Amino acid sequence: MSEFIEKDWEEETWAIRPNKSQLKRDIAEISQLSEEISQLTASQIEKLALPDVIVLAIDSAAKMPAKSARKRQMKYVTSLMRHEDLDAIQESLDKMKAKSAHATRELHQAERWRDRLLSEDNEVVTEFLNQFPTAEVQQIRQLIRNAKKEIASSKSPKNSRLLFRYLRELIEETSEHK
């Protein structure tokens, strides 16, 4: 009789299989992340602090033409990336993109200021100095004066470049303190 009771109370266990569609979506996300990483420079990849195996695999994939060998290599990279902390990698990648976008904005801002300072009158200099009080007035005025002379005499824009460099440094310095 004990055999009969044990048979009735046996638990049936079923294998719980993960959703195939979700697995495919996850792999597609990892593949897209791997592709983004493969487009980065070596110094940027180094900042992500990936294992050496992945770095080497990405490096070899970057050297390949966009044919089937590269696709196989990227699948290999994707399989290696499945075992990493993807959220941390994505966060680092997003920070790099944000810094790059911020640097581009600062660059465009410096270009606009340089163009305005060289083409308009002294009111623009005053406006600039009000916005960036740490700027050295004498140096800015001298760079503007020399750049305007170069433009008038059709010389190479050495002082215009120096003015741009100085403006960019001021803008970076100001944005770091905010």
CATH of the domain spanning 99-177, picked from 1.10.60.30, 2.30.30.140, 3.40.1190.20, 3.40.30.10: 1.10.60.30
Q: What is the pLDDT of residue 85?
A: 86
**Exposed/middle/buried for residue 1 (C-beta within 10 Å: 0-12, 13-18, 19+):** exposed
DSSP for residue 159: H
Q: What is the pLDDT of residue 76?
A: 92
Q: What is the pLDDT of residue 29?
A: 92
Structure tokens belonging to residue 134 = 């740490």
Are the C-beta atoms of residues 108 and 168 closer than 8 Å to each other? no
pTM above 0.75, yes or no: no
Q: What is the pLDDT of residue 120?
A: 81
Domain ranges of the chain: 20-84, 99-177
What is the phi-psi region of residue 3: left when phi exceeds 0, alpha when psi lies from -120 to 50, beta otherwise? Answer: alpha
Amino acid at 107: L
Q: What is the pLDDT of residue 10?
A: 62
Q: What is the pLDDT of residue 128?
A: 87
Q: What is the pLDDT of residue 6?
A: 56
**Residue ranges in the chain modelled with pLDDT below 70:** 1-12, 176-178
Q: What is the pLDDT of residue 2?
A: 52
